[in-house]
């Protein structure tokens, strides 16, 4: 199990192991089970080397808990999203038959963390709302949205975004990396993919139709080119036959006496 380095203090604020007092004096709680934590950080500073056998600074409690570094990142991402309610969403448009991906910052007005949807079928990391618009958010570090969950989301028809947060360090300069995570969530175009988006599905269908139409035109163009090539071959063969026919007529109509009189030996025509 990876060491936990982020926790919630008694004021409900996300803090780093390097920002709190050692032991029980840290007054911090687990982000998963809400159990009290103990800070194992005495004499340890971010970036300084550890003694032999010494663990990095971390939070611990007596109870078993599923908390890992993945939970550090999830906790950080959810705290940032709860505070800002702003997310840069991937937006697609068609240029010819090519899809162009850009990022569109959207300011939401409501957020719920780790809550089931209205039907009680899905529990995303976050549910963002803006008027009648509902968006499910899934943060991904090691486990992507599985097939069964995808099918449920598609059946519900709720736009759902999956965000890969692996590129973000949970701690920067000894403190929770709020700034880095916020910048990533609001501005970064990479690491964000739609699990389901009806508009994008429709756009994919338009793109498919355009590509299919282009392919059909290319096939017809190739068939037309083959027809023209065949017509040219037939024409050239006919022209060749016509030239041979005219030449034979010309030769047969030669006045051999006149040729002999002009000094042309008839032997030059013997090959015919």
Q: Does the reported pTM lie above 0.75? A: no
Which of 2-11, 177-186, 235-244 is predicted least confidently? 235-244
Give pLDDT, residue 271: 43
More confident residue, 157 or 201: 157
The Cβ-side half-sphere exposure at 236, using a 13 Å CA radius, reads 6
pLDDT of residue 50: 64
For residue range 249-270, what is the model confidence (pLDDT) as tens digits? 666 666 655 555 655 555 544 4
The tens digit of pLDDT for each residue in 166-212 reads: 999 999 988 999 999 999 999 999 999 999 988 877 766 776 666 67
d(C-alpha 237, C-alpha 259), whole Å: 32
Residue 40's SS3 state is strand
* 107: CB partners within 8 A, 6+ apart: 85, 86, 130
pLDDT digits (tens, 9 = 90+) for 62-108: 667 766 656 889 999 999 999 999 999 988 877 777 778 889 899 99
């Amino acid at each position: 199990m990876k060491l936990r380095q982020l926790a919630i203090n008694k004021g409900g604020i996300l803090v780093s192991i390097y920002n709190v007092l050692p032991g029980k004096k840290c007054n911090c709680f687990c982000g998963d089970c809400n159990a009290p934590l103990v800070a194992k950080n005495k004499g340890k500073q971010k970036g300084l080397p550890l003694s032999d056998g010494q663990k990095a600074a971390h939070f611990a409690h007596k109870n078993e808990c599923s908390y890992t570094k993945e939970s550090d990142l999830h906790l950080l991402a959810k705290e940032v999203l709860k505070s800002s309610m702003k997310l840069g969403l991937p937006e697609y448009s068609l240029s010819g038959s090519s899809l162009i991906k850009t990022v569109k910052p959207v300011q939401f007005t409501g957020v719920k963390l780790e809550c089931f949807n209205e039907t009680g079928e899905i529990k995303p990391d976050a549910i963002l709302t803006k008027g009648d618009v509902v968006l499910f958010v899934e943060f991904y570090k090691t486990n992507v949205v599985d097939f069964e969950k995808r099918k449920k989301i598609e059946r519900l028809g709720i736009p759902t975004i999956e965000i890969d947060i692996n590129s973000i360090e949970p701690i920067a300069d000894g403190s929770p990396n709020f700034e880095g995570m916020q910048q990533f969530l609001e501005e970064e175009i990479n690491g964000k993919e739609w699990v389901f988006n009806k508009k994008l599905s429709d756009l994919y269908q338009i793109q498919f139709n355009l590509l299919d139409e282009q392919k059909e035109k290319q096939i017809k163009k190739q068939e037309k080119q083959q027809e023209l090539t065949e017509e040219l071959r037939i024409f050239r063969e006919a022209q060749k036959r016509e030239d041979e026919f005219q030449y034979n007529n010309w030769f047969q109509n030669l006045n051999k006496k006149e040729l002999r009189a002009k000094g042309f030996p008839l032997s030059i025509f013997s090959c015919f």
